[in-house]
Amino acid sequence: MKSESTNTNGVKIGLECHAQLITKSKLFCPCSTDYHNSEPNTHVCATCLGLPGALPVVNERAIRYGIKVALALNCEVQPQIIFYRKNYYYPDLPRGFQITQYDFPIALNGLVQIESASGGDGGRERGIRIRIRRVHMEEDPGRLVYKGTIDTAKYSLVDYNRSGIPLVEIVTEPDLRSPKEVRIFLGELRSILGYLSVFDGDLEGAMRVDANISVGGGERAEVKNISSYKDVERALSFEITRQKNLVRRGLKVTLETRHYDEVRGITLSMRTKEFEHDYRYFPEPDLVPIRISDMVSEIKGEIPELPDEKKRRFVSQYSIAREHANTLTYDINIADFYEEVASKMDAGLSAVWVADVLKGELNYRGISMREASKRVSADDFVAMLRYFKKGVITERGATEIIREMLDHGGKPDEIIKRKGLASIGSAEIEKAVLEVIKENENAVEDYRTGKKEALHFLVGQVMRKTRGRANPKDVSKWIEEKI
């Protein structure tokens, strides 16, 4: 790994990643965490509303999940944890303080390795080591809903459904050097958390990021509550450009907290940056210290095969390309789907169709593999691949079957029959080829004079006539023979 002195653009980025843990109840009360799509302020009680006399009770499952996250991030789990009060006033914080951890977090000194945004070609080396400073637990505040943008809204509404939701906060050292590296790191982190079954990345607001950015050794600015991976890259790109422009004009970057406006794609100043002493941390008097060292050995046994391990195994066991292994192991649901398909079908062929075609169709529709699996089973996918391998359907026909299953469901054989996707015989191909040659004399002449791209045009015309039911390689041979 190259030293920090090789950072030619002078950008340093450290992250505070807040991930919502998928427990059934909140961190300090029995209220349900299944608040999505619920009416505002319907998943609340005296404890998460901070009413006088209500006492917190720790959710043990949330603590176990936090330890599991720390172990997966190669952290040093601490012997005991103590909850603290972080004192500040904001409308979404009903008590006037947040219960979090300070001097005694769950873990310290972790490490995550990612691939560089440049793929190892210049700049940073391929393997970038991102140090994890600490992992700790805290409760989520409520949610402010602004009527308009944060700087123009005349008022805001408060929804306390989210108040008290268990969060694990993962704090990195300032080892990231670009918005792309941040996106790669967050993708890796999301993948690890998904494998642990402690986090659901498909939930709205499941991960929120605070990013600290400095340029050229100057003061840092913190951009708060960035709520999507796409917005992280956009927000950091804007903030880096803003700071560089200030430096270029001879102005100083102010140590401050900023808000990212998703609509305008800009960051806005919220307040001067707080320091730790501003929060007046002190141990939460209603919660005793919790010894967690006795849990560690048991929880270690619950850690599953993680993405990097699975990636190496896929390359070794299935003899597939590293690029395919990267795509297949990013999401545990896709990895499991692939392994089920590969257990019944050629592993290499399965990798191509799951990683390239199915994943591409999922991305186009903006749906997850977990959602898609309600309509596309591994057995149906295997049946489709068998039809393709036997030549019953073409590549285009197989793709059409995947699209139809994703959109409407159905079995491959029924879709082939209903949409007429079965491959056609040589007689029909020959007839279509002769018609295309007759209808496109100019293209035929271009091909005869050495313009090879004319052949692609003619093949495309035949495929159109046959509605994609002919094999393009066979069509190309037929055309060359007839011409």
Q: Which of 177, 204, 168 is nearest to 73 (CA)?
A: 168
Q: What is the pLDDT of residue 425?
A: 65
376 and 252 together in one domain: no
Alpha-carbon distance of 202 to 180, in angstroms, equals 21
Alpha-carbon distance of 11 to 215, in angstroms, equals 5
CB 31 within 8 A of CB 44: yes
Of 100-104, 161-165, 442-446, give the lowest mean pLDDT range. 442-446
DSSP string over 258-298? EEEETTTTEEEEEEEPP-GGGG--EE-TTS--EE-HHHHHH
pLDDT at 301 over 80: yes
Could you tell me how far CA 232 lies from the centroid of its own chain? Answer: 12
227 and 113 together in one domain: yes
SS3 66: helix
- Supply the Cα-derived Rg of the chain in whole angstroms: 28
Domain stop point among 277, 299, 321: 299
Of 70-84, 153-167, 435-449, 459-473, give the lowest mean pLDDT range. 459-473
Domain stop point among 249, 273, 299: 299
The pLDDT tens digits for 229-259 are 778 999 999 999 999 999 999 999 989 999 8
Task: Kindly state the greatest CA–CA separation across the chain.
Answer: 91
77 and 47 together in one domain: yes
120 and 231 together in one domain: yes
433 and 470 together in one domain: yes
Which residues constitute the domain of residue 137? Answer: 4-299
Structure token pair of residue 244: 């560089």
Give me the percent of the chain exceeding a pLDDT of 70.
95
Q: Enumerate residues 6+ apart whose C-beta is below 8 A from 383.
A: 411, 412, 413
Q: CB 443: neighbour CB atoms within 10 A?
A: 20
Alpha-carbon distance of 268 to 47, in angstroms, equals 33
pLDDT at 120 over 50: no
Q: What is the pLDDT of residue 126?
A: 61
Q: What is the pLDDT of residue 124?
A: 53
Alpha-carbon distance of 371 to 367, in angstroms, equals 7
Q: What is the pLDDT of residue 471?
A: 73
278 and 372 together in one domain: no
pLDDT at 212 over 90: yes
The pLDDT tens digits for 178-192 are 999 999 999 999 999
Q: What is the pLDDT of residue 125?
A: 53
278 and 371 together in one domain: no
155 and 198 together in one domain: yes
Could you tell me how far CA 451 lies from the centroid of its own chain? Answer: 45
Give the CA count within 13 Å in the CB-facing half-sphere of 322: 5
Q: Which of 29, 11, 43 is nearest to 286 (CA)?
A: 29
| Region 258-278 average pLDDT | 83
Structure token pair of residue 219: 């003061």
DSSP designation for 178: S
101 and 181 together in one domain: yes
Q: What is the pLDDT of residue 118?
A: 58
98 and 220 together in one domain: yes
User: Domain holding 442: CATH number?
Assistant: 1.10.10.410
Alpha-carbon distance of 59 to 70, in angstroms, equals 17
| Region 71-81 average pLDDT | 98
Considering the chain, what is the average pLDDT of its residues?
90
Domain stop point among 240, 274, 299: 299
Q: Enumerate residues 6+ apart whose C-beta is below 8 A from 251.
A: none
274 and 349 together in one domain: no
| Region 7-13 average pLDDT | 78
Alpha-carbon distance of 231 to 428, in angstroms, equals 52
Q: What is the pLDDT of residue 51?
A: 95
| Region 64-85 average pLDDT | 98
Give me the percent of the chain exceeding a pLDDT of 90.
67
Alpha-carbon distance of 26 to 94, in angstroms, equals 15
The pLDDT tens digits for 275-289 are 777 889 999 999 999
Q: What is the pLDDT of residue 424?
A: 66
Confidence of residue 121 (pLDDT cuts 50, 70, 90): very low
pLDDT at 8 over 90: no
CB 172 within 8 A of CB 213: no
Q: Please state the domain count of the chain.
A: 3
The pLDDT tens digits for 308-361 are 999 999 999 999 999 999 999 999 999 999 999 999 999 999 999 999 999 999
Q: What is the pLDDT of residue 123?
A: 47
412 and 436 together in one domain: no
Q: Which of 169, 101, 98, 166 is nearest to 133 (CA)?
A: 169
Structure token pair of residue 36: 């999505």
